[in-house]
Amino acid sequence: MFGLDWSIIFALIPGLILFLYGIEQFSREINLVAGKKFKKIIESATKTPLRGFLAGTFVTSILQSSTATTVITISLVNAGLISFYASLGLIFGANVGTTITAQLVAFKLTFFAPFFILIGFAVDLIGGKFKILGKPIFYFGLVFFGLSLMSDAMLPLQGNTEILSLISTLEFVPLAIIVGFILTNIFQSSSVVTGIIIVLAQNGLINIWVAFPLILGADIGTTTTGLLVSSKMNIFAKRTAFAHVLFNLIGVLIFLPFISFFISFVISLGGTEAIQIANAQALFKIICAIIFLLCIKQFAGLIERLSKSSEEEILLKSKNLEVIPAGDYNLLIAVQNELTDYFLVVQLLFDEAFKSINGKSDLNKIDRLTELSNYLHDKISVACMIYSKRNVSVFNLKQIINFSRVSNNLFELSSNATNLIKISNSVHLNNYTISKKSLSELDEIYSIFTKNFDLIKFNFPRFYDKIVDEFKVNEFFLQDKIAQAYDDYFTTLSINSNLTAGTAFAQITSIIWESNIKLKDIRKIYKK
């Protein structure tokens, strides 16, 4: 087989196994040590695309895996912790951060591998407060020790004409890109493929003209994991994964016409073949990141046009209380503003509940709104607790207590909305029937309830006499309409016994009435 000695094969395979195992375990251990911190960094560093880019670069350079950073980012988008737009900077940064591996290999860090292994083993064995760093250091050394074994095993291949002839076929750029793509999907890591390419270069088996197209293929290949991960996630997570694909694919297409000029420029910078390859990868990814950062809005628009959806992005964030304001007055205003937003979230949840009764529910949106309701309630509760412990006036203390009561009422209202959704799901699941007339009456009942919800929402926290009077009139109409709907429903039921959702109908109207009482409770906090 290409004139290879079996001893060379058996030397190469253990080195490859150690390299693959080492990089997988290193990434895992770093996640265990600082995974939550990295997620916090990613969450907090996405206010601007540039900050997201820097965060993505930093996290990936530590994790040694752009795939890990991309998967974390996709998961955060799916959870509503960051927006699709905010994720783009992170994706760009992840691609730059992954070049650190190539640089370390190119500068022959493999020489120090045994020292890292010994230090990591000793730290883990001795224990103490630094024990947690033992395994990451050990596996970091194992990554480069595996590469060192592979490098030593390849030395006899330098004069093998059959191997050199096979590698020469990769000078056809499209073929090299395809091979790089396939290898990356086999190893599930572009860092692994790049590391192997550089070790080949260090042993004189490959040059930059072959290596760089292989790296371009690896760059495209690394995007498949994100696509698979996002397949069962929401549209915004899918867009992030798709953006990763397009970013890498378009980057490669941009460079292809200038590949000869680019490689010649990298060679002119000097350095060994391995350093040139590492520099080519880094320059390629940095240039791509700069281009896409400058055009990020247009790029985001392109992704949205290619993956159209009516689904609304709902972020699990507080607009006013992510950072607790220092001043007493500022915190009071922040809580009030957050309650205003909370009203809107609860009303949207009720809207989705009534859509579900009519068989038009959006389950993803319902889940996200429910999570957001719980999140805002927790944020407001914590803020109220913090404020109540400050040295404030009795008047202001009463205000914050009232705000806490309003938040509790809104939380109970959101629970009522989710109960409506459960009832409607049960109706549809069991093929129960609510007549068209009864559905129409439920819509009228909900329309009156919505008028009262709007009165409380838009006038909070000042309910003048005119508002109270209007609320009472709506309440009278609501009570009368519910009573009339009951009479009509049971009259219809006596004629058509096939209508099997009588209990559900009663539950729905009861929940609406209870919800109106909750709105009245909010009003009474400020206006008896």
User: C-alpha 302: how far from its chain's center?
Assistant: 19
Give the dihedral sign, CA 299/305/306/307.
positive
Does residue 57 carry a pLDDT above 70?
Answer: yes
The pair of three-digit structure tokens given for residue 467, joined into one six-digit string: 């508002």
Q: What is the mean pLDDT of residues 286-293?
A: 94
Among 89-93, 100-104, 252-256, 513-517, the least confident range: 100-104
Burial 440-466 (b: 16+ CB within 10 A, else e): ebbeebbebbbbbbebbbebbbebeee
Is 93 within 8 Å of 54 (Cβ atoms)? Answer: yes
Among 6-20, 227-241, 371-385, the least confident range: 6-20
Higher pLDDT, 112 or 397: 397
Which pLDDT band, with edges at 50, 70 and 90, does 166 fall under? low
Q: What is the mean pLDDT of residues 254-264?
A: 92
Among 115-124, 256-265, 519-528, the least confident range: 115-124
User: Is the link from the previous residue into 461 a cis peptide, with omega within 30 of 0?
Assistant: yes
Quote the CA–CA distance of 246 and 241 in Å, as a whole number: 9
Q: What is the mean pLDDT of residues 431-446?
A: 81
Higher pLDDT, 417 or 105: 417
The type of residue at 449 is F
Does residue 493 carry a pLDDT above 70?
Answer: no
Q: What is the mean pLDDT of residues 4-12?
A: 60
Is 29 within 8 Å of 135 (Cβ atoms)? Answer: yes
Quote the CA–CA distance of 183 and 190 in Å, as a whole number: 8
> Which of 234, 250, 243, 477 minimizes the C-alpha distance to 363?
234
DSSP states of 324-369 as a string?
Answer: --SSHHHHHHHHHHHHHHHHHHHHHHHHHHHHHHTT---HHHHHHH
Q: The pTM is what?
A: 0.76
Higher pLDDT, 383 or 73: 383
Which pLDDT band, with edges at 50, 70 and 90, does 454 fall under? very high
pLDDT of the residue at 229: 79
Higher pLDDT, 490 or 27: 490
Which pLDDT band, with edges at 50, 70 and 90, does 21 fall under? confident
Average pLDDT of every residue of the chain? 83
Q: What is the mean pLDDT of residues 226-251?
A: 89
**Tens digit of pLDDT for each residue in 463-474?**
888 999 999 999
Task: Give the total residue count for the chain.
Answer: 528
The pair of three-digit structure tokens given for residue 84, joined into one six-digit string: 């699709």
Is 42 within 8 Å of 90 (Cβ atoms)? Answer: yes
Percent of the chain with pLDDT over 90: 35
pLDDT of the residue at 447: 93
Q: What is the mean pLDDT of residues 65-83?
A: 82
> Which of 316, 319, 317 minimizes the C-alpha distance to 338?
319
Burial 129-146 (b: 16+ CB within 10 A, else e): eeeebbbbbbbbbbbbbb
**Tens digit of pLDDT for each residue in 199-234?**
788 877 788 998 899 999 988 988 887 888 788 788
Side-chain-side CA neighbours of 441 within 13 Å: the count stands at 23
pLDDT of the residue at 1: 45
Give the DSSP letter of residue 65. -
> Structural domains in the chain?
6-306 (no CATH), 328-526 (1.20.58.220)
